[in-house]
């Protein structure tokens, strides 16, 4: 019989077993939820149920970019303690997991669990690591960039507490092999890690945040006794400053504050004889 996604989710809630294990158990028991739960307990698949709800607020962010720079994956893998997060063996394990995921077509954390790894799957490997360390290990979020024209680049900061993945598009394929281009994409990942922008463009900024900023500024100007006929003009300047602090393309480049990121891209485009465009970025911070 066909096993529905809702049935799998219900069994996961009951047993805290993995998605694939739940689906297999339901298949073997013809969709009988109670029988499937019993089967999982008998097989030991539900042994983590008493700890699955423990807080996994520690962990690391890891990234993998293919040699051709056309595929990039960024993920946050959580555990229970900072002691485990800082363990070199754990970090190496996470690196192997992310590489395997990058070499698959998995595009999110749930799909990543079914990726083949070792003699089983990523989900099996996470379960085995739980048994070894005594801590719940989970992939809380994952993003994949598949690049057509251009390159992906990544940067891991503070020992894995922060990770960045970006995509920069080019019109010429040969540009991505230029040392100047490679320095540029590295610099942008460093900038994103340090500056923590709220969005790539103004359209990416939550409108409620913009409205709140305007409201606060207006009240401050009114309290300062500014004439009503000039407040709107002052507000335009203040909101432009707000965007210059929040929007990646408008932020001052951390290595040269006289240049915005847009101006940096324009300068590099001219230098390389190409048109460069920062297409997207992702920044993960552990627990945030």
Residue range 55-88, pLDDT digits in tens? 678 999 999 999 999 999 999 999 999 999 999 9
> For the chain, how many helices (H) and strands (E)?
11, 10
Using the predicted structure, report yes or no on whether residue 48 has a pLDDT greater than 60: no
Buried-exposed string 187-216: b where 16+ CB fall within 10 A, e elsewhere: bbbbbbbebebbbbeeeebeeeeeeebeee
SS3 61: strand
pLDDT of residue 50: 47
> In which band, very low, low, confident or very high, does the pLDDT at 119 lie, cut at 50, 70 and 90?
very high
Query: CB-hemisphere CA count at 13 Å for 52?
Result: 15
**What are the boundaries of each domain within the chain?**
5-43, 54-146
Query: For residue 176, what are its two tokens?
Result: 């991505």
Q: What is the arithmetic mean of pLDDT over 12-40?
A: 83
Read off φ and ψ for residue 15, nearest 5 degrees. -115, -20
pTM above 0.85, yes or no: no
SS3 letters for 131-174?
Answer: HHHCCCCEEEEEEEEECCCEEEEEEEEHHHCEEEEEEEECCCHH
Which superfamily is assigned to 54-146 in CATH?
Elongation factor Ts, dimerisation domain (3.30.479.20)
DSSP state of 199: B
Using the predicted structure, report yes or no on whether residue 52 has a pLDDT greater than 60: no
pLDDT of residue 56: 77
> In which band, very low, low, confident or very high, does the pLDDT at 18 lie, cut at 50, 70 and 90?
confident
- Identify the helix (H) or strand (E) that includes residue 212: helix 207-223
- Identify the helix (H) or strand (E) that includes residue 239: helix 228-246
Closest CA to 12 of 134, 113, 94, 144: 113
- Identify the helix (H) or strand (E) that includes residue 271: helix 261-272
Using the predicted structure, report yes or no on whether residue 47 has a pLDDT greater than 60: no
> In which band, very low, low, confident or very high, does the pLDDT at 20 lie, cut at 50, 70 and 90?
confident
Residues in a beta bridge with 62:
75
pLDDT of residue 173: 97
| Close Cβ partners of 102 (under 8 Å, ≥ 6 residues apart) | 64, 65, 66, 71, 72, 73, 144
**According to CATH, what is the number of the domain 5-43?**
1.10.8.10
Q: What is the arithmetic mean of pLDDT over 234-243?
A: 93
> In which band, very low, low, confident or very high, does the pLDDT at 49 lie, cut at 50, 70 and 90?
very low
At which residue do the structure tokens 């993995």 appear?
A: 18
Residue range 212-234, pLDDT digits in tens? 988 999 899 988 889 888 998 99
């Amino acid at each position: 019989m066909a096993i529905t996604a809702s049935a799998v989710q219900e069994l996961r809630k009951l047993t805290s077993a993995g998605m694939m294990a739940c689906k297999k158990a339901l298949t073997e028991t013809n969709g009988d939820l109670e029988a499937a739960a019993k089967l999982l307990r008998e097989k030991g698949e539900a042994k983590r149920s008493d700890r699955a709800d423990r807080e996994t607020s520690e962990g690391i962010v890891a990234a993998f970019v293919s040699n051709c720079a056309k595929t990039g994956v960024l993920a946050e893998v959580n555990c229970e303690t900072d002691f485990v997060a800082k363990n070199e063996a754990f970090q190496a394990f996470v690196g192997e997991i992310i590489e395997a995921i990058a070499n698959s077509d998995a595009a999110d954390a749930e799909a990543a669990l079914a990726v083949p790894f070792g003699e089983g799957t990523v989900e099996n490997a996470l379960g085995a690591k739980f048994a070894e360390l005594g801590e719940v290990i989970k992939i809380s979020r994952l993003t994949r960039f598949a690049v057509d024209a251009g390159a992906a680049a990544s940067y891991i900061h503070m020992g894995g507490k922060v990770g960045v993945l970006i995509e920069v598009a080019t019109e010429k394929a040969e540009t991505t092999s230029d040392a100047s281009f490679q320095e540029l994409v590295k610099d942008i990942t460093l900038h994103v890690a340090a500056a923590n922008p709220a969005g790539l463009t103004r359209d990416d900024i939550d409108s409620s945040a913009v409205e709140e900023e305007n409201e606060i500024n207006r009240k401050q100007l009114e309290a300062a006794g500014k004439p009503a006929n000039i407040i709107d003009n002052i507000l335009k300047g203040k909101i432009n400053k707000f965007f210059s602090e929040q929007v990646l393309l408008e932020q001052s480049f951390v290595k040269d504050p006289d240049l915005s990121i847009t101006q940096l891209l324009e300068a590099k485009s001219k230098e390389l004889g190409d048109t460069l465009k920062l297409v997207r970025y992702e920044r993960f911070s552990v627990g945030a």
